[in-house]
Amino acid sequence: MILISIIIALIIERLGARSDYWQISYYAKGYLARSNKQLSEQGLFHSPSGFLVWLLLPVVAGAVVFMLSDFVIWQLAINVTVLLVCFGCAKQRALYKAYLNALTRDDQQAATLYALQMGQTRTENELNGETFGQTLAWINFRFYCAVIFWFVMLGVPGAILYALVRSYADLVRDDNKVAFATHFKLVHSLLFWLDWLPARVASFGYLVIGNFNKGTSCWLRYVLDFSVSNRVVVTNTALAAEQIEQQHFGCSLEATCMMKLVKRNVLFFLMIIAALTLFGGLA
């Protein structure tokens, strides 16, 4: 049922599910708004341990709801719904379309602005920068690969936990006045470890389906490195595996090639999940 749930959720997410109700950020902000008092200095969840408990409450609630649903169809519906919400990246999709439209108009300034809004911290021409294709690989990892990984490992609670931590890490990065701003390092440390293993697994997929020789050398350089950021692991391995020529950086061709790579990577891991499901059933 894990594989069926992922496939159905991916199909529905591609076809629609663009409203706020299908975005984890909508529920994360709502939960935060109702908990501002408890997260304040005098609140029940102000301490680091209290904040972790507050963070785990929705995860436990999701696990309880799933366990109480004995009927297979209900469990499938819960799986698909949770995955749709955790996959939700309507904002990034809209910005990506606007980016491509800007390139079509040959408006490089607008394209750069859209890329920065999507999360590109620095352009490829700046020190320690990255190409827009690398930014796309990172977005795909955060909203799809990592969610699928934790869903396969821990089920509904795993997907909810990762999506919530991802949302709150982004929120506290953009707004240092949120109620849990004092836990900035804690949230990002938690996200780092939640990303660490999925980043290596997803990067391995890139080298398998892309340029194996160059991808492997890059992957081996990072695979056991705990000091490098997960973003560097994913983006550098993806770029090495796709082998896009520098003259195409910042062009629609680069974005198209990288999108094909990340889609092939998702399909590759669906095949792995299918194989594990098959052999697990035979066992």
Give tens-digit pLDDT for 43-97: 889 899 999 999 999 999 999 999 998 889 999 999 999 999 999 888 999 999 9
Degrees, nearest 5: CA angle 262-24-74: 95
Quick one: pLDDT at residue 129?
Answer: 75
pLDDT tens digits along 9-18: 999 998 887 8
Is there a contact between 145 and 269 (Cβ–Cβ < 8 Å)?
yes
pLDDT tens digits along 100-113: 899 888 888 898 88
- Residue bearing the bigger pLDDT, 31 or 244: 31
- Across residues 243-270, what is the average pLDDT? 80
Assign 143 a pLDDT band (cuts: 50, 70, 90).
Answer: very high
Residue 41 has a CB neighbour count (10 Å cut-off) of 7
Q: How far apart are the first and last CA of the chain?
A: 16
Quick one: pLDDT at residue 282?
Answer: 43
The pairs formed by 106-114 with CB atoms below 8 angstroms and a separation of 24 or more are: 108/250, 111/250
Contacts with 120 (C-beta within 8 Å, 6 or more apart), sequence order = 130, 132, 135
- Averaged pLDDT score across all residues of the chain: 89
Q: Is the pLDDT of residue 127 over 80?
A: no
The pairs formed by 108-111 with CB atoms below 8 angstroms and a separation of 24 or more are: 108/250, 111/250
CA distances from 56 to 37, 117, 183 (A): 18, 30, 15
Residue 255, judged by CB atoms within 10 A of its CB (0-12, 13-18, 19+), counts as: buried
Assign 5 a pLDDT band (cuts: 50, 70, 90).
Answer: very high
The pairs formed by 66-75 with CB atoms below 8 angstroms and a separation of 24 or more are: 66/155, 66/156, 66/157, 72/1, 75/1
